[in-house]
Structure 1
Amino acid sequence: MIQATEKSEAGARDMTLFLCGDVMTGRGIDQVLPHPGDPVLHEGYATSALDYVALAERANGPVPRPVEFAYVWGDALAEWARIGPDLRIVNLETAVTTRDDWQRGKGIHYRMHPANVPCLTAAAIDCCVLANNHVLDWGHAGLAETLETLRCAGLQTAGAGRDKAEAAAPAVLSVTGKGRVLVFSFGAQSSGIPPGWAAAAGQPGVNLLPDFSPATLRQIAAQVEAIKRPADVVVVSLHWGGNWGYAVPAAHQRFAHGLIDQCGVDVVHGHSSHHPLGIEVYRGRPILYGCGDFLNDYEGIAGYEAYRGDLSLMYFLTIDAAGGTLLRLRMIPMQTRRFRLNRASAADTRWLRGVLDRAGRHLGSRVEAGPGGSLALRW
């Protein structure tokens, strides 16, 4: 009944997209799934992915092993079923591979065993954006296996490829009776992507932004214009900036505005920050500067506790598919405990609301309490 009520609020041409920040199903989470990969790590902090399982258990209690593929999504599954988004788009920040060509000089390496890819399909994810700082943690061969594994699982990808053309190509997602969503994925060096990871002619890699200049905007505008049809909704997914802090760099705001003004972009989907950042609605188009981590294995790691990295958000954006403008943005607060997403408590929801409201005020947005413990954006 709730799902039917929510659907009836939207017009026939309205489209609801689910977006979130970083989804890290590798390392510790991979170890509790049915087919754990080799746990050996090459990090200064830990030498085994099982160390992250131990940290989580020390903080919040035993994690069952092995868990079912759907376990990690926890209460998010009920929210997806209740709201029924037309598409689910995530930043998948892990390689999906058994390869051992770990990247020397890089401090953290994420890897999920390919046999655990059903944990992604259990969430009915439609598109994984890959232009991030972990998809090549296990080399070019690891990237190739990641792309092939996701393709065979029926998951569309954007932002990484076997050459520059494939890495730059958008995912084209069709919604029956409503139209298409084009998802372009870009990464910036400021998020920790090594410059050598850039895809080139004949070289695998990620779709790396050279800079945030007008020339780069012109290049993106040409790419969008070459494929966009009338009534297409265009999403640009950006892995940019540091992990901590609420300030939105002026260069990010200028670039996001340019994507909307010059490139025909309808949704700017930012990530890399480990916690949610403020939200702007510019010319009717939403800019999520940083969605925060959605799922990770960071439980029990000390440092930055004031940012409450255990809390995350499910973002549900209802878009006028004909005009590309935002009609409604609803957020569902979650908390990760024992490698599982759980609905956040009332107190944690109030805390998140206050943080997002303060962070968004200078961007022209407010966050209010919504029905059923949700949060609603006002602009």
Structure 2
Amino acid sequence: MSNPDSINLFLCGDVMTGRGIDQILPHPGAAILHEDHVKNAADYVRLAERRNGAIPRSVDFAYIWGDALAQLARVKPQFRLINLETSITTSDDWQPKGINYRMHPANAPVLAAARIDVCVLANNHILDWGRQGLTDSLRTLNNQGIRSAGAGANLEEAQAPAICQHGAGRLLVFSMATGSSGVPAEWAAGPGRAGVALLPELSTGTVHRMRELIQGWKRPRDLVIASIHWGGNWGYPVPEAHTEFAHGLLEAGVDLVHGHSSHHILRMEVYGGKLIIYGCGDFINDYEGIGGHERYRGDLPVMVFPRLSLDTGRLLSLRLVPLRLQRFRLGNAAPEDAAWLQQLLNREGKKTGTHFDLSADHSLTLRIPAGGSVLRVSPTG
């Protein structure tokens, strides 16, 4: 739903199309794994089937997106942004880090099936199959017409934003990661070394460097997203360092902070009228048959639809659409699942003064007071 004075976006968290997901797509790659307990990617398909029933093989590229496609068609966001946590490669240069994700390049149309505009790549899996895997991923995304940010052949490329044109302005997407999300230090891009945009620390000095980087790219009517892979996988507390860094980025010229790495959604904040998502949660993966953290409901991905002012970058509205991931396919969430998410976000949102209302269609809408600024209540936890 376009408006000449605003821009609608679709954001989500981690999209993992490798391993078991890759095995059900039309062109499955080599299934061999180098994990301690699972040695064949097809075993993740069987584990999921044991929990929720049969999963078809050689599915069409739209299959995994399921009911999310209807939501996207309804909202019509101008740009669609995901964190791609999968190397797109046939490289066998696996890195000894415990878990390695890759998707066969012939399955890359699965991203085009959802008309993804930007894949952020500064995360702890894009180099799972070495620098050749990174090179293959970048080439494949480019061939699909999908922009990327956060990784490149050198530091300059890794730090450069993905650029999306909108009317008289642009959307600039910067992608970066921290070591706390599991990115090995040796994956950092350098002046002559391929890798990811790895932040050395979440400090005032890093904010200043980000300000300089942004100012070198930003023009009038541009909007800026900082997409950050940070923190651990489980648990609701948000480190104070994340809060301070996110605030610093907004003060440095960023209009929206898109955080990810957590396997479940975290609280959100509106600071100075602009949106901070501390953790989007997982969106697509093959974890369905893996137990141990059920209480966090990682099976409930969330579509995030913010609408921003083109003049100021301020948040005008925010709608969340809960989904349910079953049999490697996104389906609409049940009413009780949407209510559970509302209670969770409102409980955690007490720390930042955010509150979501549950709509008749089971989506969640953020209450934005007059003036568009939500009071931050507490800096802790």
- Given that 2:124 and 2:184 are in contact with CA atoms closer than 8 Å, whether structure 1 keeps it comes out as yes
- 1:356 — aligned with what? 345
- Given that 1:131 and 1:206 are in contact with CA atoms closer than 8 Å, whether structure 2 keeps it comes out as yes
Residues 284-321 of structure 1: CA deviation (Å, up to 9, x unaligned): 11000000001110001010110011001000000001
Aligned equivalents of 2:346 and 2:310: distance in 1? 27
**One-letter code of the match for 2:197?**
N
- 1:329 — aligned with what? 318
Match of 2:143 among 152, 176, 190: 152
The Cα shift of 1:13 comes to 1.8
- 2:45 — aligned with what? 53
Q: Is residue 69 from structure 1 mapped to residue 65 from structure 2 by the alignment?
A: no
Aligned equivalents of 2:3 and 2:20: distance in 1? 42
Query: Within 5 A, what are the aligned runs for 1:1-379?
Result: 7=1, 11-104=3-96, 106-175=97-166, 177=167, 179-261=169-251, 263-378=252-367, 379=374
- Given that 1:174 and 1:181 are in contact with CA atoms closer than 8 Å, whether structure 2 keeps it comes out as yes
The Cα shift of 1:178 comes to 5.4
Q: Which stretch shows the higher mean deviation, 352-361 or 233-242?
A: 352-361
Residues 207-260 of structure 1: CA deviation (Å, up to 9, x unaligned): 000001111111100010011011211000000000000101000000000001
- 1:3 — aligned with what? none
**One-letter code of the match for 1:121?**
A
Distance 1:358 1:178, change over 3 A: farther
The Cα shift of 1:11 comes to 3.4
* Identity score, percent: 56
The Cα shift of 1:370 comes to 2.4
Between Structure 1 and Structure 2, how many residues are aligned? 368
- Given that 1:14 and 1:178 are in contact with CA atoms closer than 8 Å, whether structure 2 keeps it comes out as no
Instruction: Report SS of the residue matched to 1:54.
Output: helix
Instruction: Report SS of the residue matched to 1:353.
Output: helix
The Cα shift of 1:45 comes to 2.5
The Cα shift of 1:373 comes to 1.3
Aligned equivalents of 2:180 and 2:359: distance in 1? 34
- 1:4 — aligned with what? none
| Uncovered stretches (5+) of structure 1, i.e. residues with no partner | 1-6
- Given that 1:15 and 1:178 are in contact with CA atoms closer than 8 Å, whether structure 2 keeps it comes out as no
The Cα shift of 1:371 comes to 4.3
- Given that 1:13 and 1:178 are in contact with CA atoms closer than 8 Å, whether structure 2 keeps it comes out as no
Aligned equivalents of 1:76 and 1:242: distance in 2? 26
Structure 1 segments of 4+ aligned residues over 3 angstroms from their partners: none
Aligned equivalents of 2:14 and 2:309: distance in 1? 26
Aligned equivalents of 2:233 and 2:27: distance in 1? 30
**One-letter code of the match for 2:332?**
R
Aligned equivalents of 1:332 and 1:255: distance in 2? 27
- Given that 1:231 and 1:324 are in contact with CA atoms closer than 8 Å, whether structure 2 keeps it comes out as no
The Cα shift of 1:17 comes to 0.7
**One-letter code of the match for 1:218?**
H
**One-letter code of the match for 1:339?**
F
Aligned equivalents of 2:168 and 2:243: distance in 1? 30
Residues 194-217 of structure 1: CA deviation (Å, up to 9, x unaligned): 000000011110000000111111
The Cα shift of 1:367 comes to 1.2
Superposed CA RMSD in Å reads: 0.8
- Given that 2:169 and 2:220 are in contact with CA atoms closer than 8 Å, whether structure 1 keeps it comes out as no
